[in-house]
Amino acid sequence: MRRVFLLIAAVSLSFASNSFVLNSECKKCHETIYKEFMSAQHANSTIFKDKIHAAVWAKHPKNKKMKKYGCAKCHTPAANDIDKLSKKGVAYLPDKNNPTQNDGISCAYCHRIESIKHGKMLNSNIISKEPKKYFGNLQDHIKSPFHKIDTGNKNFKNGNVCIGCHSHKKNKFNLNVCSTNIKNELDKANCVSCHMPKVKGSVSNLRETKTHAFHGFPGLHIHSNMLSKYVDIELLREIDDFWISINNKSSHALTLHPLRVMKLEVSVKRGGKVIKLPSKIFLRALGRDGKPTPPWLATEIIKNTSIKANEKRSIKYNFHLQKGDEVKVVLGYYLVNPKLIKKLGLENDEKAKKFHILKEESFKI
């Protein structure tokens, strides 16, 4: 009797509330979802895998002065030593050899988010105490031999499960450096419906289903082609000039992170020649006294030209179009503002430097 009791105590101890089953465990039965997930930024959000995050962290005062990786709260929330990593006190830095610090925003972490606590500086995720009970939306499901399934969590139903990390983050000057500013009730679309669409392939290996929710989390790093349908490009021709409109059908601004820069390139093909028209930049720049600074020093938004949620932005081109012209419009972005590449030491990071295309359109006049 006593032995049984000890055994149970040992098991529950090893699954303390911030001990999460590793992603590799889920792979056995959720092969398709696992494979998609490994391509997503959520699986690659650590300083060991994300070079851009690592570059900013290298400059951060919490690294230089305090030796505290506070970013863990959102970037490696499944770390078994999260308290030591993120709470004030003795210096303690990330450890590449700790597997729980390499799992990113892990499967088990996200599926244990019970509710969201709203905070002034940032929100927090409340994690369920049961390590092997996972929340989800599959009302019609079989039993899992590995874990319990709970389909009664309203934060999974309305897509709010994302806003513990994605809503806002203020710096010590009370400036919101990272804001999604969501209106989450847009025509029934929410974070999950746009960023986790249903695609072909089975939910698990134990029962064949036709579709499952895509776990590659389309964003600006990867699978951005899956998001281009939420942005429309239109051309309106007038007698002496023309307008290009960008219609943002998503519930947040185009580009969210302050490192990003969006660019609109327009050119006209006439005869055999290509005439490039002036390009247009959209960004949200943080700074102090009107000059750009890193987010941790910023006291104000010095410039905000990013295209807002549900906004249709029209740009005028003083150019007389003729019959037979072909207008090519490219809307793209840089993951890191080209002006900051050198400062961050990212000269050799092709992905950070590249102009990525979100949407292209051609108009024959």
Give yes or no for residue 303 binding ligand HEC (CB under 6 A): no
Candidates 50, 114, 234, 265; binder of ligand HEC (CB under 6 A) is: 50
- 320 makes contact with ligand HEC (CB under 6 A): no
175, 298 contact by CB (below 8 A): yes
- Amino acid type, 219: G
101 binds ligand HEC (CB under 6 A): no
37 binds ligand HEC (CB under 6 A): yes
**Smallest separation, CB 76 to ligand HEC (Å):** 9
> For ligand HEC, which residue of 171, 250, 267, 299 counts as binding (CB under 6 A)?
250
344 binds ligand HEC per the rule CB under 6 A: no
Helix and strand numbers (H, E) in the chain are 12, 17
Q: How far is the CB of 236 from ligand HEC (least distance, A)?
A: 22
**Residue 259 carries which DSSP code?**
T
360 — alpha (psi -120 to 50), left (phi > 0) or beta? beta
286 binds ligand HEC (CB under 6 A): no
Residues 132-191 that bind ligand HEC (CB under 6 A): 134, 136-138, 141-142, 144-147, 149, 151, 156, 161-166, 169, 180, 182, 184, 186, 189-191
Cβ atoms of 152 and 146 closer than 8 Å: no
Position among 85, 107, 321, 327 found at the interface with ligand HEC (CB under 6 A): 107
Return the residue of 15, 18, 29, 365 that touches ligand HEC, per CB under 6 A: 29
353 binding ligand HEC? (CB under 6 A): no
228-247: which residues touch ligand HEC (CB under 6 A)?
230-231
Determine the interface stretch with ligand HEC among 8-16, 91-99, 223-231, 277-285 (rule: CB under 6 A). Answer: 223-231
Q: Which is nearer to ligand HEC, 100 or 180 (CB)?
A: 180
Name the DSSP letter for residue 336.
Answer: S
DSSP 121: S
Number of residues counted as binding ligand HEC (CB under 6 A): 90
Shortest Å, Cβ 247 to ligand HEC: 11
Alpha-carbon distance of 118 to 324, in angstroms, equals 56
Q: Is 97 helix (H, G, I), strand (E, B) or coil?
A: coil
Residue 243 phi/psi, 5-degree rounding, is -120, 140
C-alpha distances in Å from residue 44, one per residue of 39, 78, 125, 217 = 8, 13, 20, 12
Beta bridge partners, 270, equal 273
Cβ closer to ligand HEC: 1 or 90? 90
Based on the shown chain and the rule CB under 6 A, indicate whether residue 362 belongs to the binding site for ligand HEC.
no
Provide the minimum distance between the beta carbon of 272 and ligand HEC in the complex, in angstroms, as a whole number. 34
Q: Is residue 283 a contact point for ligand HEC (CB under 6 A)? A: no
Cβ density class 303-314: b for 16+ within 10 Å, e for less: eeebbebeeebe
Asked if 52 interacts with ligand HEC (CB under 6 A), we say: yes
Smallest distance from ligand HEC to CB 314, Å: 18
Range list of β-strands (E), the chain: 113-117, 124-127, 133-135, 148-150, 198-200, 211-213, 231-237, 242-248, 261-270, 273-276, 280-282, 284-288, 291-292, 300-304, 312-317, 326-334, 356-364
